[in-house]
Structure 1
């Protein structure tokens, strides 16, 4: 056992001295996390206060519903200030940047609805408008749809001879607020935008990190050092075992370092209990390491092994959601969720929600099955070379 530990320590020393580990295992993923956070996380920021200029015809009760609804938006969700202005002034306020949006309701708005005609409502948005303008547009669109439906119901009731007062009572009894805001919570197994970036990049580059050690078997085979190692009085299976253990150690260290750094660099990242995350990372790294043994089995040269490892990493990274969310519905979607990158993101979603090791049970079982299947493939797959 002592000689095995010496072999593992020697492999670790060689990999640490190789600059590739620090470049692809730490520097590049950290840089990408920072870049992606600048691009994507602002989309999840809180909404800024917005001023809406509304031009509504005086004395029109139906038109007055629009500004009242905008004023009724919960200020804790979006602070809206409504300014009652004329049509021309509304446009000028948006052009000058003094209003984030403007809504112009035409004269005769209510009468047009009651007569079944479609009044033309104009919503002005400044160029480069943010999410606040999108929210205002959606609210106005929803109010107009509700007003149109109500007006059509009233006209239909009038044509059918229904008592208008009875219809009004029914509508008052069944209708609620035009806009209801309910703060939502993140769904189970779903990370925040920043957490998804951290998990995706850590899982993607893990596939490169673990390959540095295991693929060393191919390099040593080409250089002739593998034959000299096998000539010593040690079991042959110690060679792939030492490579696998050294890769696993480096993978765990690099992944935990990336997750920790990502949690510190990005504001909205909380991955849960560190011990539980460590258990998940250990299982994910083992699964990722097992893939490299299959690559060693089928590759003849170090160049072929490097190319194959890159193809596998990119394929599993993209299908596992390292760069964008991949739907998990359907048979194909469920199969894509079996790879280590997807399992890391799914598991971190569980831990971020407060789940413990027990809650990780299905994910850990999936990783265990994945690891066993990959190792069996590396053993029985018809390849060009034996592992050692």
Structure 2
């Protein structure tokens, strides 16, 4: 234990002396998290808002009822605003001027067509500058389509059952054929339940954990190049002492980094990341996984510069795929599945659940998976280090 503490103490002193610990573990993640928070959230208003234009060529009850139901949906309350436009050209102009993020166009005779069981189609116009509005508009149209299909099927079934055509409308409405109610997708971020100051703050903390641990991995390769590891091998201490000592310092600094970013984010923006015990469990699990992954990557590097490159690549790829830089719901479907192969994706999912009010039970699976990723990476790193670290 004494040699381990000596190696760890020497590594920590070196990191503090050259300033990398303070810069990478504290200044950079806190600064970036704060910048994202001020830019995208962090006030008392709903963190996300969307304006959707409505072009009502129909003039019937259906478009109005759709808007009423959407505005009464709890997860959209305070987030969604509808603006009426006289025609499609005016709606497109509003999208170009960023006055609306999306628009729904109801064609003439839509309500009558649906009521008669003949179905109907609506058009969605979207702007790349407001992805949230597009998500809500598409979700609404999906529910409208389901409702229309249910109504159409009910009308046709009623006619085939012998209900008189003039009585079909009343019969269908009496027996219920409304289909599913309107609701935004269940993603708490896309629905505005999680402040983006929290989402991106935690994303920066998760991403920089890799960089913090990477500095220790780089130091390990530097020691090998300088011949220090070879001299340590000749000493009467276990061969793993150097790896464990430097890895332990990286783990400690990464935990401090994530906790500091977490507390700073809550202090500045007043938005909770969720139950403290749950957040701490996810932090410890992620730092463990990040430490093992970076040590695995470093075990295949030949120089400290190469280790830096590997760390940079792993950190940014995992950050992108795992939702630390881009919300997962904005990624294509296949990439959303890939995100669950990264610790970032599971930690992001767990923190999102906590921030949206879920209890500790919601993070059991994320914590277990992230720890499992760390154990696999750690086992592989140990095998590779035993083969080549002192070569």
- Does the TM-score normalized on the shorter chain lie above 0.5? yes
CA contact (8 A) 2:151 2:179 kept: no
Say if 2:126 and 2:134, in contact at 8 Å, map to a contact too: yes
For the 8 Å contact 1:154–1:164, the answer to whether it is kept is no
- Compute the displacement of 1:250 (Å): 0.4
- 2:285 alignment partner in structure 1: 283
1:305 corresponds, among 300, 304, 307, to 307
Matched, 1:165 2:166: yes
Cα distance, 1:220 vs. partner? 1.8
- 1:345 aligns with 348
In 1: Cα distance, 2:119 partner to 2:106 partner: 14
Q: Which residue, 65, 73, 76 being the options, matches 1:69?
A: 65
Q: Which moved more, 1:70-79 or 1:255-264?
A: 70-79
User: CA shift at 1:245, angstroms?
Assistant: 1.1
Whole-angstrom CA distance in 1 between matches of 2:141 and 2:386: 64
Question: What number of residue pairs does the alignment pair up?
Answer: 371
1:45 corresponds to = 48
Q: Secondary structure at the match of 1:16?
A: helix
Kindly provide the CA deviation profile for residues 280-339 of structure 1, in whole angstroms up to 9, marking residues without a partner as x. Answer: 322221221112322332222211221122222223222322223458999997675243
Deviation at 1:7, TM superposition (A): 2.9
Kept in 2, the 8 Å contact 1:292–1:309? The answer is yes
| 1:322 matched residue in structure 2 | 324
Among 244, 253, 257, the residue aligned to 1:254: 257
Aligned to 1:16: 16
Distance change (3 Å), C-alpha of 1:224 and 1:110: closer
Runs (5+) with no aligned partner, structure 1: 57-61
**TM-score normalised by structure 1 residue count:** 0.68
1:387–1:204 CA distance, 2 compared to 1 (3 A): farther
Task: Give the whole-Å Cα distance in 1 for the aligned partners of 2:156 and 2:178.
Answer: 22
- What's the RMSD between the two structures over aligned residues? 5.5
Tell me the distance in 2 between the aligned counterparts of 1:18 and 1:81. 55
- In 2, Cα distance between the equivalents of 1:148 and 1:365? 42
Query: Does the Cα contact within 8 Å between 2:33 and 2:200 map onto a contact in 1?
Result: yes
Q: Does the 8 A contact of 2:136 with 2:184 survive in 1? A: no
1:365 aligned partner? 368
Contact map agreement 2:220 2:243 (CA 8 A) in 1: yes
The worse-fitting range, judged by mean Cα deviation, of 275-284 and 247-256 is 275-284
1:215 Cα deviation from its structure 2 partner? 2.4
Check if 1:26 corresponds to 2:44. Answer: no
The answer on whether the counterparts of 2:299 and 2:384 sit within 8 Å (CA) in structure 1 is: yes
Structure 2 partner of 1:200: 203
User: Could you say which residue in structure 2 is the equivalent of 1:59?
Assistant: none
What is the alpha-carbon distance in structure 2 between the residues aligned to residue 80 and residue 332 of structure 1? 30
Matches within 5 A, 1:133-212: 163-174=164-175, 192=194, 194=196, 195-212=198-215
Which stretch of structure 1 is more off in the superposition, 109-118 or 29-38?
A: 109-118
Q: Deviations over 1:142-166 (max 9, x none)?
A: 88998999899999999x9963432
Q: Is the 8 A contact 1:53 1:103 kept in 2?
A: yes
